[in-house]
Amino acid sequence: MRLILLGPPGAGKGTQASRLVAKYGIVQLSTGDMLRAAVKAGTEVGLKAKAVMDAGQLVSDDIVIGVVADRIVEADCAKGFILDGFPRTVPQAEALTSMLRSKGMKLDAVIELKVDEDALVRRMESRVAETQAAGGQVRADDNPESFKKRLTEYREKTAPLSNYYAGTGELRTVDGMLPIDQVSVEIATILGA
């Protein structure tokens, strides 16, 4: 099972991804984690990526694609994988398509969790209010303003990716506003299992 989950912060991608990992015995591959590990290990890739990551910019497509290409042929990926944080751009998606083809592989699905952004913001506002009312600490980036910014950033970067995968016929859409278990059912239906 080879999958990509698309969806903005707060859409429930993390929850669904961990359920899919458990259900299908596949691995979740985060390019952010892989790059951070390379930086820590001081590999050639890590040395190239460090300054760019420190500046909060995107690492070059060649580097990220190389990291993914090496990782997906490792033994623990035999049953498949969910890509996390990759592809982030259309050129990366195109490169992924041809890299998979060259290995005789293809994606089973690209699943987009569609959400109502205003409802997500309201949900986050009430969560913050509840935490504060209970005397809890709220993280610095856990506020409606920065959340809206992340949503906008995601929309700008990701809309072209859903268009790309709609074009390849791999895109499936799920209503991410449904209850969590219902979203899982919809995903299972798409995957036919």
Active site residue 106: no
Does position 85 bind ligand AMP by CB under 6 A? yes
Active site residue 127: yes
Q: How many CB atoms lie within 10 A of CB 151?
A: 20
Does position 184 bind ligand AMP by CB under 6 A? no
Does position 53 bind ligand AMP by CB under 6 A? yes
- Determine the Cα–Cα distance for residues 38 and 44; give it in Å rounded to an integer: 8
Q: Tell me: is residue 56 an annotated ligand-binding position.
A: no
Active site residue 123: no
The residue type at 6: L
Active site residue 13: yes
Candidate residues 6, 31, 124, 186; the one interacting with ligand AMP per rule CB under 6 A = 31
Segment interacting with ligand AMP (CB under 6 A) among 16-24, 28-36, 104-112, 129-137: 28-36
- Determine the Cα–Cα distance for residues 187 and 116; give it in Å rounded to an integer: 18
- Determine the Cα–Cα distance for residues 29 and 68; give it in Å rounded to an integer: 8
Q: How many CB atoms lie within 10 A of CB 187?
A: 21
Active site residue 122: no
Report DSSP letters for 105-131, one per residue: ---SEEEEEE--HHHHHHHHHHHHHHH
Q: Tell me: is residue 150 an annotated ligand-binding position.
A: yes
Nearer to ligand AMP, 130 or 141 (CB): 141
For the record, the structure tokens of 83 come out as 């890509």
Does position 16 bind ligand AMP by CB under 6 A? no
Contact status, residue 68 vs residue 97, Cβ threshold 8 Å? no
Does position 4 bind ligand AMP by CB under 6 A? no
Does position 135 bind ligand AMP by CB under 6 A? no
The 2-6 sheet, strands edge to edge: 27-30, 81-84, 2-6, 109-114, 171-175
Does position 50 bind ligand AMP by CB under 6 A? no
The residue type at 86: F
Can you give the binding site for ligand AMP, defined by CB under 6 A? 31-32, 35, 52-53, 56-59, 64, 85-86, 88, 92
Binding site members: 10-15, 31, 36, 57-59, 85-88, 92, 127, 139, 150, 178
